[in-house]
Amino acid sequence: MVENTSRRHLLLKNSLYGLFSWLFPIIPTIIATPIIVKGLGTELYGLYVVISGFSSYFFTLGIGKAAAKYVAEYKVSGQTDKISDIVSATVILSLSLGLLGAAAIIILAGLIVTNVLLITPGLQNTAVIALYLASITILVGTLSQIFQSILQGLQRFDRFLLLTNLSSLLFSVGSVIAVIFGYGVLTILLLTLAVAAGVCLSSYLMAKNLLPELRLKLHVSGEAWGLVWRYATSIIVYQLCGSLLLLFERGWIVRKFGPAALTYYVVPMTLAMYIQMFVGSLVLALFPAVNELLDEKEKLVTLYQKSTKLILSLVVFAVISAVVCGRLFLGIWLNQEFADLSYWLLVIHVFTFALVAMNTIAWQVAESFRFAAVNAVATFIWMFVSIPLMVFLSNRWKAEGVAFARLIGVLIFIPLIIYVEREFLDGICWRFWGSIWARIAAAGLFTCLVEWLLVSRLPSGWLAFVTAVFIGLLVYMAGLLFTGLFEADEKLLIRNAILKYK
């Protein structure tokens, strides 16, 4: 009993660290984005977004998650002598693929800029150099991801939180200073590279300090290679499919509607992605915990249901507030013209990334059981469905058609949740889903009404936005408590966490 309570408190503490790793970086980003957009202009900002996508997504294949999985498993089982081989194999594989991606971008940079993105002649040289910088950032990012994954596998989310917040602050402040003094896209990308290198070195030193037995080596055991290859193959497939989808999406908008249109598309998309990032930050601690419960099915099902209940309740509130208050926020954050052009894109993106966020826990369960192939299949279907629809729907509905195509493709994640529950959790949780949806829908309906009344009747401004969201949150929480969504032990655990960390 004491062990279970200690485990739950550790999980809750690490989840709170994950939450802070999501929350604090948002603040400098929210402040910096309008300044950067205004300083660069919509066209140059659109160019920056599409180029930075290569370093952020292309060949950033997520192989480092193998380190998080096996470090967690081997620490629990006492097989720490195997950690160096696993980490070394992960580093070698990641660097090899990172070099391949970087070389491809460097060789094809001119073709990408002129024939794929159709960048205007005046910006082509800038775009080519920017792609070169992005290729170097890819290599740094692959290494950094591995060492940060080790911190997660060791459940040292305090160190991970420090790196996340510091890097976000440095990048945001540096970018604002750069545009204020008249520097452009290349300076911001150089800053991105410098921050990434600093994070990579810092995460390595932290991992080495926490794992003194860690030794990077060129010759690793066949067992380690087999484990990393089997685990990484599916991750590579779904990361690559997701990256290709995103890069096609952005490239198609630039090619068809110009870089300025991409700015109006990506800013609301970035806001919507915070929902997925928020959930991802909460479940960072869940991945090591799931790996520790693979042989305790009853506890695993309980963890899955309680986590799903929490995630779903948070996602629904985020969707309601974004839909009801989104136009007001965009107008006061940027300007009314931007709000008019981006609001419906925000609504579509919010539903898309809410669906992705709802799938996060099932996704983690599949990976923990070494069955990431099902995630790869789902992501491939998402890409296979969405890309042709983007081409077709954009002819009539322009950028909104592209966003809607992404939303249609992501519906594949609903049957993925059903499959994971049936295969790994002893059956589909029909009664569980029906119960929580009924309670959350009732609370959400009242919240939607209250926020709409406040937004429509209060004078437009930050006070109206903050008031509507805050009062809406209170109404929503009261609705969840009234409908009995959370059980007594869950309320007690949350109460103790609040008292402990306030």
Whole-number Å distance between alpha carbons of 76 and 82? 12
Question: Would the pLDDT of 292 be above 80?
Answer: no
What is the crossing angle of helices 2-57 and 121-153, to 10°?
160
Question: Would the pLDDT of 9 be above 90?
Answer: no
Reference 280, options 351, 355, 360, 365; nearest CA is 360
Residue 173 near residue 28 (C-beta atoms within 8 A): yes
* 234 is a domain residue: yes
Number of domains in the chain: 1
User: Which three-class secondary structure state does DSSP give residue 297?
Assistant: helix
* 124 is a domain residue: yes
Residue 355: give the domain boundaries: 2-428
Segment 471-495 shows an average pLDDT of: 77
Reference 150, options 19, 4, 278, 287; nearest CA is 287
- How many helical (H) and strand (E) elements, i.e. helices and strands, does the chain have? 17, 0
Whole-number Å distance between alpha carbons of 115 and 92? 33
* 446 is a domain residue: no
As a whole-number percent, the residues of the chain with pLDDT over 70 amount to 85
Q: Work out the mean pLDDT of the chain and round it to a whole number.
A: 81
Tens of pLDDT, residues 385-429 = 999 999 999 998 999 999 999 999 999 888 888 888 888 887 777
What is the predicted pLDDT for the residue at 343?
A: 95
* 442 is a domain residue: no
Whole-number Å distance between alpha carbons of 159 and 154? 10
* 262 is a domain residue: yes
What is the predicted pLDDT for the residue at 501?
A: 38
Segment 199-210 shows an average pLDDT of: 87
Whole-number Å distance between alpha carbons of 39 and 334? 12
* 382 is a domain residue: yes
Question: Would the pLDDT of 154 be above 70?
Answer: yes
Residue 58 near residue 271 (C-beta atoms within 8 A): no
* 459 is a domain residue: no
Confidence of residue 5 (pLDDT cuts 50, 70, 90): very low
In single-letter form, the type of residue at position 204 comes to Y
Catalogue the E-assigned strands of 237-329. none
Question: Would the pLDDT of 500 be above 50?
Answer: no
Tens of pLDDT, residues 214-272 = 888 888 888 878 878 777 777 778 778 887 888 789 889 988 888 888 889 988 998 88
* 450 is a domain residue: no
Question: Would the pLDDT of 493 be above 60?
Answer: no
- pTM summary value: 0.75
